[in-house]
Amino acid sequence: MKRMNIVDRFISYTKINTTTNREKGAAGIMPSSEGQRVLAKQLVQELEGLGLQDIKLRDTAIVTATLPSNLDYDVPTVAFFGHLDTSAEQTNDTKAQILPYTGEDICMNKELNIYLRKSEFPELENYLGDDIIVTDGTSLLGADDKAAIASIMDMLQYFKQNPEIKHGTIKVGFVPDEEQGLRGAKVFDVQEFGADFAYTLDCCGIGELVYENWNAGDVEIVFTGKSAHPMSAKGKLVNSLLMAQKFIAMLPGGEAPEYTENREGYYWVKQMSGNSARTVLKMDVRDFTEEGYRSRMAFLKKLASHCEDLWGPESVTCTLADRYSNVYNSLQGENRYPIDIAHAAYQACGITPKVIPMRGGYDGAALSQNGLPCPNIFTGAHNFHSIYEYLPVKSLYAASDVLKQVVQITAERFKPGANA
């Protein structure tokens, strides 16, 4: 079996355009882009070449596979997840290149004068002397999340080529359309999959470790006014656009994305459309605590009710929906061990864990909510969703090394008599 270099593997994945398609996703099509299916099929071929078992490719482009245990005792089954799609901010094909970082600004595209400047991205100094993978500045790199896929595949290759290294059962899952509200993870059949705990790789620089994210909700508020011709509108016209504006003005000042950070929650006025007769307002609600999240959702419901009392029956309707919950809710008590194993794996690799709350969602939130506890490990990349996305080569190797340690630590930690 020929060993494939992790960098070559990653770059081969970037050559497949897997940009998520928001229009098709909104129409319920999964995967939303054909490139995701192409990548899924390539992964199936690679998994077959590695000799994995129970390989499945579903109509949704979800891929799963199993590397059986070589232990003579039982340990919990660990799984690793990456997502197939890249964000829709840029749709061009990726032209990845590997450039050395010598301390100067990195020229990504001389003709278009596109540079990765250390004045804008000072964390580059941490990678002095390293090789950096970037694009030509006309697309995303797609390390979100193809660096994860490359790391997972490299980890599998390592254990297949070193059968003397003991490990429990390892499962892998690759899912579509994470960039559209975790669509693939939400339909993933956790029970059929059969893992006991899991990790996604979907955060940034080396050392980052996430096991806390938003409780997230969607809100739609419909304002119904009364139409009238402006020549005779006095006392008759009720402008729904102005109703929506007044509603927005009554939201708590300063509790919006542009004013908040760390664990501060917010209301995000995301979209407003309509006319004087009917206006639809869409909002996102985010809070790290369950209590805070429920309080925010209840506040909007109450505010809508008060506005309806003011403007008349059926003038305001409010629909609330939960999107995903904080993964931390699923990692308490006896389910905390995936966090402890991750910390131990980082330390075994000489990496100091940088525990951060994620002001967003990731597939692990949906998987955890469905019964599969799932913290989030770094990919090593920076500047997700930007043409300035970059991936230090040593960080890519480090991500794979952490996965290898997770597997080996699990085998040792649950060995009979290990805790005696």
Query: How close are the terminal C-alpha atoms of the chain, in Å?
Result: 40
Quote the tokens at residue 196. 């006991």
Beta-bridge partner residues of 358: 213
- Is 385 part of any known ligand binding site? yes
Rounded distance between C-alpha atoms, residue 301 and residue 285, angstroms: 12
Rounded distance between C-alpha atoms, residue 250 and residue 260, angstroms: 18
Minimal CA–CA distance to 81: which of 326, 325, 328, 363? 363
Catalytic residue among 46, 154, 177, 178: 178
- Is 167 part of any known ligand binding site? no
Angle at 311 between CA 299 and CA 280, to 5 degrees: 65
φ, ψ (nearest 5 deg) of residue 347: -65, -35
Which residues are CB-neighbours of 148 under 8 A, at least 6 positions away?
81, 82, 83, 200, 201, 202, 379, 399
Annotated catalytic residue 85: yes
- Is 229 part of any known ligand binding site? no
Angle at 270 between CA 266 and CA 276, to 5 degrees: 125
Catalogue the long-range contacts made by 118-127 (C-beta closer than 8 Å, 24 or more residues apart): 120/388, 121/382, 121/383, 121/388, 123/205, 123/382, 126/205, 127/101, 127/392, 127/394, 127/395
Quote the tokens at residue 111. 């003709």
φ, ψ (nearest 5 deg) of residue 65: -160, 165
The answer to whether 9 and 153 are in contact (CB under 8 A) is yes
- Is 258 part of any known ligand binding site? no
Rounded distance between C-alpha atoms, residue 81 and residue 374, angstroms: 9
Catalytic residue among 46, 85, 154, 208: 85
Annotated catalytic residue 72: no
Ramachandran category for residue 87: left, alpha or beta (phi over 0 → left; psi -120 to 50 → alpha): beta
- Is 144 part of any known ligand binding site? yes
Residues belonging to the binding site for Zn(2+) are: 83, 144, 179, 202, 385
Q: Residues at the annotated binding site?
A: 83, 144, 179, 202, 385
The residues carrying an active-site annotation are 85, 178
